[in-house]
Every structure is written in C-alpha cells, then in structure tokens.
Chain A
Amino acid sequence: DTAVSQTPKYLVTQMGNDKSIKCEQNLGHDTMYWYKQDSKKFLKIMFSYNNKELIINETVPNRFSPKSPDKAHLNLHINSLELGDSAVYFCASSQGTAKNIQYFGAGTRLSVL
C-alpha cells in the first residue's frame, strides 16, 4: 500500500537510448512532480503537473518529458540519454493548496554508461 511508487528502482542503460520511469500515487493527490538528485545530493525540481497545468523547469532539457495518463500517474520519458543524466529521480505528489507538503517515492537510480 505504498503511497507513491516508482518503477524501476534501478535502471542501467547505454548512452543514446530512450527510457521511461513510471510513477503512481494512491493518495488521491491532484499534483505530481519529478525531481532529480545528482551526485552531490542536491534535489532539483524538474516538473510540476496537475490536470490543468504543466510547469517545466527551464533548465530541464527537452529530451525529458512527463506524461500523465491519469491523475494518479506521472511517467518520465527520457530520449537520447546522456552520461550527465545519471542521477536518482524522485517522483512526488501533493494535494490542494498544501503544495509544499509533498510525498516522495523511493527514487529511481539511473546509470547511463
């Protein structure tokens, strides 16, 4: 009954490949997010999405795209993977006006070789 679940937990792939990370939340929240945590452990927000609005961090390359089939899912697609994409990616969700209280998944460790 995990609140925010991500799959896979680990992802190892070659440069140039396209990959996806899935995220599902069963909290009934209306907003979901993707974060990137680099090797220095800094967490940076990439996207914020609810059924009305997608907000994109301007520093995120357009090789990254979020896709939401429904309110409970926000998947992350990455095209033409690069070495610098190696990091841990976290999905999170929040509800209503309390958007600064977010619930995070366990993360997906992506390694690009």
Chain B
Amino acid sequence: LAKITQPISMDSYEGQEVNITCSHNNIATNDYITWYQQFPSQGPRFIIQGYKTKVTNEVASLFIPADRKSSTLSLPRVSLSDTAVYYCLVGEMGGGFKTIFGAGTRLFVKA
C-alpha cells in the first residue's frame, strides 16, 4: 500500500488559491489518487480523482506529475466555508475495502 504524506495543517485567507501537496512515493501502476473533504460533524465528501496529468471539476483541480509520486490539490479562491480537513488517498479503483484515510490536512481559511 502506498505510504502517504501530506501537511498536517495549512492556513489561508479568503480569495486566495490553496495548493495542498500529497506525497505518495511508492504509488503502484494501478493506483488512482483521490481527494476527500470533511467538514466538522459531517462525513467525508469526494472531491476529485485522477490518474495522471491534470483533472479539473467545478470544485478543484488535481495536478499529477509524470512520475506520479506526488499530487497537488488546488482550490481556487477559497472562502471561509472551505475550512475543512482534506484527505489524500491512493489506491485501485476497485479497492474499496483497502481505502485508507490518513491524518489529512486541516485547512483553516481566515477572513
């Protein structure tokens, strides 16, 4: 299983772009990179998933370099409501039971 490293916490201000980097040096060929967001007192919510290069949706962008040993979740123009814990997960598409959540990155957005 890929070992995942991401910052424990980050601070930002409203309107800024936030980039959260996740390191996964021993990612396997069949592994995808998936990000979840968790607000206090709620369950995690799927944000974005990618395999290589760049993926963008209405919430975020995910940048994955060619070696796939790291990935960066980019949140454009954050607001106070983006304050949450962000989890980076690495695993096969069909590996539901093998889903492993790490400690996540606690993002705090200030006014």
Chain A positions near chain B (C-beta within 8 angstroms) = 4, 31, 33, 35, 41-45, 48, 55, 57, 90, 92, 94, 97-107
Contacts and interface: CB of A to CB of B under 8 A. Distances in A.
Query: Chain A CB within 10 Å — which of B42, B46, B87, B104 has the most?
Result: B46
Given A105-B43, A106-B42, A107-B42, A100 B96 contact: yes
Contacts of B92: 100
Interface residues of B, number: 24
A64 B101 CA distance: 21
A104 B44 contact: yes
A63 B89 CA distance: 29
Nearest to B96: A99
Nearest to A105: B43
Nearest to B49: A101
Nearest to A94: B96
A43 B45 CA distance: 13
Given A41-B85, A43-B101, A48-B96, A104 B43 contact: yes
A94 to B, nearest CB: 5
25 contacts: A4-B43, A31-B96, A33-B96, A33-B99, A35-B101, A41-B85, A41-B103, A41-B104, A42-B101, A45-B97, A45-B99, A48-B97, A92-B43, A99-B93, A99-B95, A99-B99, A100-B34, A100-B93, A101-B34, A101-B49, A102-B44, A102-B99, A104-B45, A106-B41, A107-B41
A98 B92 CA distance: 9
Top 4 nearest A-B pairs (CB, nearest first) are A104-B43, A99-B96, A48-B97, A43-B101
A100 B43 contact: no
Given A101-B34, A101-B49, A43 B93 contact: no
Contact of A100 (B49, B85, B103): B49
B89 A100 contact: yes
Contact of A55 (B44, B97, B103): B97
